[in-house]
Chain A
């Protein structure tokens, strides 16, 4: 198998890994809390891709029954990822509510400033 074929058949997974690692980098390396939450959302959406990509069958169709089609893509990852998306937005809302309360308490949402201020008190 040539190198181009090897990359093309796994291109999905490479982009998924890139998104995952980018989200991880934003969570670790950036100090602003809202940016961290956005990075966490990046990480979550890459996990959706990771589940949905293996479920697709080339030559099949979406998992809605129609008498013209025989092969359907796998419906199980769709069900699991539907749950995951809605749960993700609920946790994002709770995280942002926490950030709002932190900013009212400390006056800033930068992690390093909050640590410095916490040590002073």
Chain B
């Protein structure tokens, strides 16, 4: 056999695979080592607290005695907790629908701009994203404060009665929803914008050739092409809205009459109240987590079935 004979393709493949496997086995520990920090952090800050919370939810806080489902019975038997879910579902629905509509429309405007001014606008609308919920609430409190906020000052100067954002049920919702929309507007607009500019122009050209109107193009080309971006935004909005706490805490303290109390704000108040069982609060936190996961799973399932149809 000629040692100089060139290797045929399948021999080269076998050799490559062999080298590849050798490399894999020899360097496996490096891979694990590099993954270790992530695993360690996840274990310390995610897995351990979750397991501890799960254990605590079946224990008495003071004695650590096993109490079965007692903490869950307490939390499910608390009317206020149920009411807080109703409140947050309404808020989430409003926030999700309004945010999607306004950010989609604004992204269309941004796409149409497509110049230096557009870049400037993108930067400006993204700024609120860097502000915390607490800071945003304080800013909006300066506007809505009944005793001397900007809105009160303007109304009084116009010889009108001030409006109270904390004692009117509708205005209290507005006092929470508006800062939330303001905070998320920039981020969601940019996601929408990214989705819009990723739609191949061929689609629009084809639609144009077929004589599709602006509305038909929007319904049959633009929106379906944005599906994955929309799902990302919907999942984000549902998750963050259902975990809302800082804005209701600062703006309305959950009032009036607990109409703007959210589950996380309820848990926050309950955990600070020594007269309420602390481990029932932990059980409540797990319930909130499961509900949010459940909603998200439903959204993901909807996405999957749509992709299957496409396939």
Q: Do A and B bind each other?
A: no
